[in-house]
Amino acid sequence: MTPPFTPLVAQLPASVPFVGPEAQERARGAAFTVRAGANENAFGPSPKAIAAMSEAAAGAWMYGDPENFDLKAALAAHHGVAVERIAVGEGIDGLLQNLVRLFVREGTPVVTSAGAYPTFNYHVNGFGGRLVTVPYAGDHEDPDAILAAVRAEAAPLAYFANPDNPMGSSHPAGRIAGLIEAMPEGAVLALDEAYAEFADPSAVPPIGLEHPGLIRLRTFSKAYGLAGMRIGYAITTPELAKAFDKVRNHFGVNRVAQAGALAALGDQAHLDAVLHAVAAAKARIGDIAAAHGMTALPSDTNFVTIDTGCDGAVARALVAALATRGVFVRMPFVAPQDRCIRVTAVSDALLDLFEAELGPALAEVAPMASVAAG
């Protein structure tokens, strides 16, 4: 028999936003030698975080604190904001799901950029929302187009990432502040700042900036190296932060993750070391790209988006050719950004392997590139 799905669920595609590297490894029957496609922090979490998680694992028979009290207090102190402005969730993805649940029902217009982070779209679709997309301006998300669409659609929710994934670009803090201030009354801007620690400070609005329609999303997955723990947080108004308690999974953030995040936050020296390592790796990726006739775009993240100089078909073929050689990278999904591939900052040893395989992979797709050029 057919399960009695709701009409909404019955018409949704059976899909996920990303096909994980593990699924690709199962399909190819071999592990990747270079894992540089998911923007994980290949330099790892703080040793203090590892120790804290190891200790917490012995108490895994207990539920984690459903209020995330210690972590929220530490985050508030770290950022210099009231603890009432902090919400904690299962990574930014978990926070986005709850945020969409707060504002979206079937038919609700929701604004985002075509080609921006697809997990947000996944959640909007899951609640029956109507996605309204605007194009990038060059290789940047377009604040003016986002704002215009919010006004035209009377949308209660919009998504904007700064720095951006998948392009690695960012806008100056002043322009982001202008977008925030111009949001219509009754509309909420989800400002995804997953990569804020990697960004030039001039691209990050002051953390004390408050607006009744602003929710800033941060994570421990990237710079702090805890992607596998699934823990992130939001900085917003007390009213919005409290609203999460109406819909969130109160035991969703586990005890081990809470301990790891708390210890990672307290080890800013390790964070600084990671930022230096990432910067060096990005510079080398840029050199590798240039040596092979491609262009590395400026990046305020922990990855480098490389312009192949061709079209999306060639870029997809290049991603596939690298995968057959054991190198996992990804690419933007929407034209014209899909002319690029995206490479996460990893160690020199892994970049050696990437560099060794890039030339043969490019040679494999060269006939296709020639046809596209012709």
User: Hey, what domains does the chain have and what are their CATH numbers?
Assistant: 7-44+269-373 (3.90.1150.10), 47-267 (3.40.640.10)
Q: Which residue is associated with the tokens 């006004």?
A: 151
Predicted local distance difference test score (pLDDT) of residue 15: 79
Predicted local distance difference test score (pLDDT) of residue 13: 87
Residue 363 amino acid letter? A
**Which tokens hold the place of 354?**
């990437």
The CB density around residue 303, as the number of other CB atoms within 10 Å, is 30
C-alpha 289/C-alpha 307 separation (Å) is 9
Predicted local distance difference test score (pLDDT) of residue 272: 98
Which candidate, 293, 291, 290, 336, places its Cα nearest to that of 313?
336
Predicted local distance difference test score (pLDDT) of residue 369: 74
Write the burial class of residue 227 (CB in 10 Å: 0-12 exposed, 13-18 middle, 19+ buried). Answer: middle
Predicted local distance difference test score (pLDDT) of residue 16: 80
Q: Dihedral of CA 97/98/101/102: which sign?
A: negative
Q: Which residue is associated with the tokens 């073929």?
A: 317
Do residues 326 and 34 make contact, with C-beta atoms less than 8 angstroms apart? yes
**Which tokens hold the place of 254?**
């586990």
Per-residue pLDDT of the chain (374 residues; tens, 9 = 90+): 789 999 999 999 887 888 999 999 999 999 999 999 999 999 999 999 999 999 999 999 999 999 999 999 999 999 999 999 999 999 999 999 999 999 999 999 999 999 999 999 999 999 999 999 999 999 999 999 999 999 999 999 999 999 999 999 999 999 999 999 999 999 999 999 999 999 999 999 999 898 999 999 999 999 999 999 999 999 999 999 999 999 999 999 999 999 999 999 999 999 999 999 999 999 999 999 999 999 999 999 999 999 999 999 999 999 999 999 999 999 999 999 999 999 999 999 999 999 999 999 999 999 887 656 55
